[in-house]
Amino acid sequence: LNMFVEKRKPHPFMSDQQGAVESGTRRKVKRLLSFQRYCHASRLLRGLVPHTPGSLHLLDDDYLGQAAHMLSKVGTWNFDIFLFDRLTNGNSLVTLMCHLFNVYGLIHHFQLDMVKLHRFLGMVQEDYHSQNPYHNAVHAADVTQAMYCYLKEPKLAEQLSPLDVFLGLMAAAAHDVDHPGVNQPFLIKTRHHLASLYQNTSVLESHHWRSTVGMLRESGLLSHLPANMSHDMEQQLGSLILATDISRQNEFMSTFREHLDNQDLDLQHAPHRHFILQISLKCADVCNPCRVWELSRQWSERVCEEFYRQGDLERKFDLEISPLCNQQADSVPAIQIGFISYIVEPLFEEWHRFTEPSPLSQTMMGHLHKNKARWSRLRHMHTPPDTQTHPLAEEPDSEGGGGEGEDIP
């Protein structure tokens, strides 16, 4: 307890006058001193700073046992992250990351301080907006679990270094941190400060990365490492997180296809491993249509609900309603069919080639084709014959076609 109390004392650089400010105000000031905390005071669509959870919730023995049993099967593709989140009382991301760090021996390898690790992971989990139907900490945990499955692929597993694994898991956990629940075009047309800060380019992805760096530094997780090493880790995390920008999809797909066609990927070469980590994270971020239907359907409904909320906001403020955000015109089946056809299928077909193909890849492709067929049946059941072609089908290469630009994982 003393360790945590010590963390809450005013920083030495504060003046005596500031140190005398009542504890609530002092905490608020301290939060505003770092980059990612600034966003709590100015977050889009939120007027209040989220409640600080303090320590992790203690679970009943029965729930602990069930959560531990699930973790023993965390490498299986039918892992139910929604159930796991309930069993961990909303702490799925922290619990999962601690488990995976132990599985890989990363705590010992990098000599990480457990208190700092829990502090960092707690900050990341807290900075996801629980009000978002889709871009929340459960999505981050789901992407992390998928990333773990991909890191275990035979083509990759024996080639990865501890640093590769560390970066892959960290990027997965933090790739959407502090997501406001609206897409990049919305931030641009409402002149949000983040759009100005990042000059309308990879706005959300840049914010996710910079927020992660801020939390790494505030927690001191990497402070014991040489400065050049921690800086390199921060830059590589940025490269991974920025790869999730769907407006760069064609760029990555072209490079991936070229490597596979030329058969020149050498995973003993660090830049090639990093590129495959980028592709792995991209796959993990949009893998929902490759899950079993019961899980895939829930994610599809959640992301569409988030789109529709943005559309409602745009309607309320007399803004042009973004593609895929009009609940009256854009049905869940239509959105999912467009997303699968133009984003997910092309990516996973190349991943299928890369894995040569693996049992997991075959399983994912099977689910993908079944889910697409099911959405097609649902669409025909509810779509009038004269309905126009879905926006994704008309403009598959536009920046508004998915991800953070039009994020539809």
Whether pLDDT at 406 is above 90: no
Whether pLDDT at 385 is above 70: no
Tokens of 319: 């803004």
CATH of residue 269: 1.10.1300.10
**Is residue 25 assigned to a domain?**
no
Tens-place pLDDT, residues 96-125: 999 999 999 999 999 999 999 999 999 999
| pLDDT for res 381 | 85
| pLDDT for res 301 | 98
Q: Are 292 and 79 in contact (CB under 8 A)?
A: no
Domain limits at 264? 58-382
H or E segment to which residue 212 belongs? helix 203-219
Nearest Cα neighbor of 307 from 347, 279, 282, 338 is 338
Please give the residue that has the higher pLDDT: either 31 or 323: 323
Whether pLDDT at 9 is above 90: no
- Look at the block and give the residue holding tokens 């005596």: 16
Whether pLDDT at 1 is above 70: no
Furthest C-alpha separation in the chain: 72
| pLDDT for res 64 | 76
User: How many residues in the chain?
Assistant: 409
**Is residue 150 assigned to a domain?**
yes
Q: Where are the alpha helices (DSSP H) in 243-339?
A: 249-262, 270-285, 293-316, 332-339
- Return d(Cα 176, Cα 206) in angstroms, integer: 10
**Structure confidence at residue 276 as a pLDDT band (50, 70, 90):** very high
**Is residue 39 assigned to a domain?**
no
Whether pLDDT at 137 is above 60: yes
**Is residue 52 assigned to a domain?**
no
**Is residue 374 assigned to a domain?**
yes
**Structure confidence at residue 223 as a pLDDT band (50, 70, 90):** very high
pTM: 0.81
Number of domains composing the chain: 1
- Return d(Cα 88, Cα 94) in angstroms, integer: 9
Tens-place pLDDT, residues 291-327: 999 999 999 999 999 999 999 999 999 999 999 999 9
| Binding positions for AMP | 135-139, 176, 285, 336
| pLDDT for res 163 | 98
* Cα 255–Cα 260–Cα 266 angle in degrees, nearest 5: 90
Percent of the residues in the chain that have a pLDDT greater than 70, as a whole number: 78
**Is residue 295 assigned to a domain?**
yes
Break the chain down into helix, strand, coil percent, rounded to 5. Answer: 65, 0, 35
**Is residue 119 assigned to a domain?**
yes
Q: Are 244 and 278 in contact (CB under 8 A)?
A: no
Whether pLDDT at 41 is above 70: no
As a whole number, the mean pLDDT across the chain is 85
Of the listed 118, 129, 135, 179, which one is catalytic? 135
- Phi/psi for 395 (5° steps) reads -130, 70
Nearest Cα neighbor of 112 from 95, 123, 98, 125 is 98
Tens-place pLDDT, residues 350-359: 999 999 999 9
Whether pLDDT at 398 is above 70: no
Which residues are CB-neighbours of 15 under 8 A, at least 6 positions away? none
Mean pLDDT within 46-67: 53
| pLDDT for res 169 | 98
Number of H helices, E strands in the chain: 24, 0
| pLDDT for res 346 | 98
Q: How many CA atoms lie within 13 A of 238 on its CB side?
A: 15
| Binding positions for Zn(2+) | 139, 175-176, 285
Nearest Cα neighbor of 95 from 140, 136, 36, 134 is 140
**Structure confidence at residue 193 as a pLDDT band (50, 70, 90):** very high
Name the DSSP letter for residue 341.
I
**Structure confidence at residue 384 as a pLDDT band (50, 70, 90):** low
Percent of the residues in the chain that have a pLDDT greater than 90, as a whole number: 77
**Is residue 28 assigned to a domain?**
no
H or E segment to which residue 107 belongs? helix 106-109
Tens-place pLDDT, residues 183-192: 999 999 999 9
Would residue 193 show up in a list of annotated catalytic residues for this protein?
no
